[in-house]
A and B are shown apart, each in its own frame.
Chain A
């Protein structure tokens, strides 16, 4: 997985009826955009270190570098 600051990570729900969750990448701590990432959860602004598993996908919200 590769991400940049500003990207959104979506974690799919694990059970029927469980909603997907999302967080925003604040910092990238791995090499070449790799994990772990410092992420911000929702509107309350709590930050944590995130280690993406197979349940997580990145949405690149910034324009691609030319």
Chain B
């Protein structure tokens, strides 16, 4: 499966010149915990709810501080066409919970650890279902080849 196909939620982006207050309100309205920071179509950073807590509230920055003053960068990304197992490796290596999906430098969506877990569980269910059916109903033998 490609990273593009594993995206389960819409992505939301904001410009680097916008304020952290706006970022927080957009997160609340859109129901997301992270915004891509996009400048001229290119991904330049990511701002998360954690960034707002640790770099704005905890440091007593004003509500009108610019997003690019608190965003996380450089951003670890994954190409849209990359295999989903590459995402597992990136999450494991970097310890982040969100991974922007890009085509070149262009942001197209956000992949989260939760998305990957749901995909893995779906694959496990697909594997377990025939085994469970076999345990309950017994083996379903294929017909013997016809003989003449």
B108 CB within 8 Å of chain A: yes
Q: Nearest residue in B to A36 (C-beta to C-beta)?
A: B13
Q: What chain B residues lie within 8 Å of A11 (beta carbons)?
A: 10, 30-31
Provide the bound-state CA to CA distance between A48 and B29, in Å.
11
Say yes or no: B31 contacts A53, CB within 8 Å. Answer: no
Q: What chain A residues lie within 8 Å of B108 (beta carbons)?
A: 51
Contacts A44-B25, A56-B10; is A51 near B31 (CB within 8 Å)?
A: no
Say yes or no: B31 contacts A48, CB within 8 Å. Answer: no
Contacts A46-B25, A48-B35; is A53 near B10 (CB within 8 Å)?
A: yes
Distance to closest chain B CB from A24 (angstroms): 12
Q: What chain A residues lie within 8 Å of B36 (beta carbons)?
A: 49
Residue total for B at the interface (Cβ-Cβ under 8 A): 21
Provide the bound-state CA to CA distance between A50 and B38, in Å.
11
Q: What chain A residues lie within 8 Å of B14 (beta carbons)?
A: 48-49
B61 CB within 8 Å of chain A: no
B50 CB within 8 Å of chain A: no
Say yes or no: B7 contacts A53, CB within 8 Å. Answer: yes
Say yes or no: B10 contacts A46, CB within 8 Å. Answer: no
For the complex of A and B, the 10 pairs showing the least CB-CB separation, nearest first, are A41-B29, A51-B11, A49-B13, A53-B10, A56-B10, A48-B26, A53-B9, A52-B10, A46-B26, A53-B7
Interface residues of B (CB under 8 A from A): 7-15, 22, 25-26, 29-31, 35-36, 38, 107-109
A-B pairs with beta carbons under 8 Å apart, 11 shown:
A11-B31, A14-B31, A21-B29, A21-B31, A41-B26, A48-B14, A49-B15, A51-B108, A53-B7, A53-B8, A53-B109
